[in-house]
Structure 1
Amino acid sequence: MLNNKLIYFLFKITFLFSLTTIPLIVNGNCIVDFPGNSNLNYSSVCNSTNGNVEIGRNIPLSDGDSFTFDSPSTISIGGIIKIFAAGNGKIIIPEGVTVVVQGNLQIETAGGGCESGAACNFEFIVDGFLIVDGNLQNKATSLIWTGTGIVDILSNFDNTNSGCMECGATCPEFINHNRCNDINSTCSNNFCELQYGKSAFKGVDNLAPKFDYCPSDLIFYTDDNSCTALATWPDPQASDNSGTVTISDPSIPKGQNLAPGTYTVNYTATDGSGNKATCSFNFEVIDNVSPSTTFCPEDIIRYGAQTVQWTEPKFSDNCEITTIQKSHTPGSLFDIGSTTVTYTAKDKNGNQTTCSFKVVVQEENGPEITFCPDNIILDADQNCESFASWDLPTANMIEGIPPKSNYTPGQLFQLGSTNVVYEFIDITGKSYCSFDVIIIDNDPPVYSNIPKDTLIKTTKSTLAYSWEEPIATDNCEFNEYSTHKPGDIFPEGITTVSYTATDNSGNETTVSFNVTIKTNHPPVIKKDTIELEYSERLEVCPTINDPDGDIINIKSSKILLGEGSLGDLLQDGTCLEFYPNSDAAALYEILIEVCDNGTPQTCSQGVFFVKIPEQVKFKEAVIPYKIFTPDNDSYNDVWVIENIESYPNNHVTIYDRWGRVIYDANGYNNVDVVFDGSNINSSLGGSEIPTGTYFFNIVLNGNQKLQGYVELLR
């Protein structure tokens, strides 16, 4: 009967020429094959590659085959590990070795073996550490975990297809940060539930959440008195088969006053398995407010062809007026007849308004006008008006009657241009004297109660803010526009709020103030692994930083994995004292809470790992004494390192708590090369160091290290 390996050879006949244990290494990747009963090691076949590792890709592991990750002590795989199983093979991670996989770890089936109907017992022996940054995916019908080490899966831990997992006589400790799934209901046990408890659920969730409601595209129109529109919409609604879904904040915060333009809003719904769905819609802010005419002249009547003056029309708009087109300008010559004068104002969004009036020039045939006043120009008073007086016009009359007029000297005139007409009638006919009384306003509106710049410190990215609005006053009527209103939502950063008042003469005043939203972002804790040589006391410094550059410190700490204790904070509160309970190789998981000194204060929690590698075993125990008392009583006056003489090639360094070297020597022997409490660092002052705790580093034979502390008592 053909075994699994021979069957696989028949499938892979094109690879028969590769019947060798020499691996194929291409572009940093390592491909290892098993042509016979092979027991291969990582150090000999992969040459410390840090790319992808494919074990048995062309010729898979079968009965009697094994692959051992033997050295170095930390093996970092920058890509994925893919294992092809066709029989009862083994993957081995021995004690003292840590394998870190940046990508996924996949156990595939090959050659018809380890699949439904061709069961196998493929063994994964972990006595060291296995850390997988991506997913672990198993397709083998029976993957058996054995060993006493630790398996840490940072993403998802899944059985797929017909895959099943179980533990052997021993079982590593499993750490799972996301989900663990048993999809195959025919498995003899629920591995995830046994290893991780009831919180692990059965079945892979590949279904993305569904948005039950996502807003359609929207249109918002600007306010009459502002070049912005309040953009708000109903919140989207989402559901998921798991029953739990989280909807992100919108890419554009709703409730803001926004300028004309087109905007895209995105929401993301995420379930507990990391599946995502997107709700996206557009909205447009449209300015449909035409400029308003604050002043438009009345029809003008003149007698005899002449140049005609007038006060030009005035316009205002909620947005900026960019052009004013005119058919005639003041001072133009007008002949006998009626002429329409047109002004057209357009804003920056294409809205327009027209002001039209007529200039009517009539013929005259009557007495000669001997005096007619020139146009009269006066400044408006506090009531936007003014009294006007003039000398009476005269004419050579022949049997005429007293002239008639529509206005008399001393009357009150309103803002703008008013045409005054005198009619002279005698036996020759009618003649006219006309002139304009023009009341002008050169005084712009005045603002009071102007808010000061405001700085708001918060932990939010947007915030509603209200203020007491500024007050505008003017001697004439005016229109007022603002970019924002009290209660508007402001984004992070500096926003300028402006108020503009424009009177009927076009005089304009703008005031502004800044609203600054300063968001204090929480500290960031990097989830990394710190490798340290064993010592009774270790100084552990996780990678933490603050996006805003605030001073940060560790507020609390807790060991989640491993046996040990945590001590005082060090290095301005960014490092910890750590006391492992054993010198054995171990992986520790530590939870910390880090806070900043920003306003308001923000804190965040995160984990990091401390790895203690396997210690070099000394041929004879080297035991540094914990205490010595250099008081010249001939008893315990020097620091004794028991059995140090067995290692004449040694180097001993002692530091104070600030990391300064106070003793440094080669060939320490407890006799003439020995620490007696004297200070070799003259820059620190004094020949004798004071009572205290000091830290040592002992190197034996150039590569064996021993660290710890010693108490000096005087």
Structure 2
Amino acid sequence: MLTATDNCGTATVTFNETRVDGGCPNNYSITRTWTSSDSCGNTVAHTQTITVEDTTAPVFNEVLPADITVECNSIIPAPTTLTATDNCGAASVQFDEETINGSCPGNAEIIRTWRTMDACGNENVHIQTITVIDTTPPVFEGILPQNLSVECGSIPVAQTLTATDSCGEVTITFEENEVEGDCKSKYELIRTWTATDSCGNTTTHTQTLNLNCHVKVFNAVSPDGDGSNDIFYLEGIECFPNNSVEIFNRWGAKVFETQGYDNTSNVFRGRSEGRNTISKNEELPTGTYFYVLHYDFSSDGNQTEKIEKTGYLYVVNK
């Protein structure tokens, strides 16, 4: 309430107020005018303008959901129901969800958006990103083939393996590699199964077959120095040092005998080393001879078996 004075008498004050609405319910202006008049009609006025604005956005009431990362086989949490309050009126909340596929079927982003707006368009937005990833490799099913020690002639057929994945399809590849051992009759066969899911996650299973081969006999000797069949070659005999070799002529006379035959220094070169009927180091005549080979063999590295191999050997001496 304003009052006024006048130098020649009394003064009266009148008050007037008008309101002009704005673009929304909470925006408007108030114009207040005080007019003072004296008895001779002289006036003076004062105007006050009050501008009312709503520039404050609504506020969410609940704890806002944070960004999370989950595996593709996890349960995606349900969207949180959010509410909001506004200092000048009511506020509504609008929810929206969008899924963006990733580079593979198990990867994606779920974008959740809560938007609250008051009557004057003031807005508050909260965004939660749920990152879905596939980092879990496939799992082989059933009983997997284990490491074995086997004879070369009894190599088992490679199994067909299957695998499952929690987020998609699985592809299985098979690879087999031979690894040389310390000697020809013993080596390893490495079998590898690889299961790969659609996002490139892999799991492997490896089976190692320890192979023990029997001695292979090359039954011709032509000791002419040409590097071919110069000795009685027993492939893989070096793997079985506990061995013996005997060679007989057609009349049953022993012409060669040794222990620990090794294909290098302790070998038969078409010469006699018998003690009875044939002179030592004498070159044997061309013809057919009979050999007897003994060696200790183990297919599993534990139990030993006595092996005997016999057959005919042809010697060519010029």
TM-score (norm 1): 0.22
Considering Cα pairs closer than 8 Å and 6+ residues apart, tell me whether 1 or 2 has the greater RCO: 2
Q: Which has the larger radius of gyration?
A: 2
TM-score (norm 2): 0.46
